[in-house]
Amino acid sequence: MRIPRLSLVLVALAVLGNVHRADAFDVDAAFPRGGYVLSLEGGYGEQFDAWNTTITGFDFFNAGVRFGFLPWGAVGSGPLKGAFEIGLEPIYQRFFEPEKEKAFFAGLGAVARYHFLPLGRFVPYVELGGAPGYTDLNSREQQTNVVFLLFGGVGASFFVSERTALYAGYRLQHVSNANTSSPNMGINSHTGVIGVSIFFR
């Protein structure tokens, strides 16, 4: 399992976690009911062996643009106070290692993210996403053109202004054809992501 490059994401989260709450920042106003979020993000991932089998050993990068909506704004109280975001995200992923297995994935995903708001400018989150799409993968794991990219993850945002936040996080990613064809070993990956979000009220 090759994780060293993801340590950059963990360092970024640790730094953000040491930022003290800023009294002048109104986190509720940043997540208004009916508000919108535009996010640009990129990531890097490495395949790992989840089932003790022989894997190709893919490395990849990806990029996406998420159009998010805040249906309820800030809700709840205490440590679970938060804001729910739902969105659509075109995703492009490029498998670049090993050299002979170069391939791409392109799809349109649905993403759900829950932002935890008790810490002011520092906003941890959890997320789930899924995207059907097209690929030219032809490996021992997958040989169909239509596959599904699924991920779940955790991370944190930090507001650098009233409407702009930088974020970094970890995702566990899975690519498969949902047993519509054989082989369907699935491609499981550890992925780091960084991005910027702009909030519209």
Q: What is the pLDDT of residues 37-58, one digit of tens each?
A: 999 999 999 999 988 889 999 9
Taking only the tens of pLDDT, the chain with its 201 residues reads 455 555 555 545 554 454 444 457 999 999 999 999 999 999 999 999 988 889 999 999 999 999 999 999 999 999 999 999 999 999 999 999 999 999 999 999 999 999 999 999 999 999 999 999 999 999 999 999 999 999 999 999 999 999 999 999 999 999 999 988 888 889 999 999 999 999 998
Task: Determine the pLDDT at residue 8.
Answer: 53
| 95 vs 116: CA distance, rounded Å | 33
Q: How far is residue 91 from each of residues 5, 70, 98, 115, 147, measured CA to CA in Å?
A: 22, 21, 21, 21, 13
- Map out the domains of the chain with their CATH numbers: 4-19+30-43+53-140+158-170+185-200 (2.40.160)
CA dihedral defined by 144, 171, 112, 197, rounded to 10 degrees?
-110
pLDDT of residue 43: 98
pLDDT by residue (tens digit) across 123-149? Answer: 999 999 999 999 999 999 999 999 999
What's the CA gap between 63 and 149, in Å, rounded? 13
Task: Give Cα 91 to chain centroid, integer Å.
Answer: 10
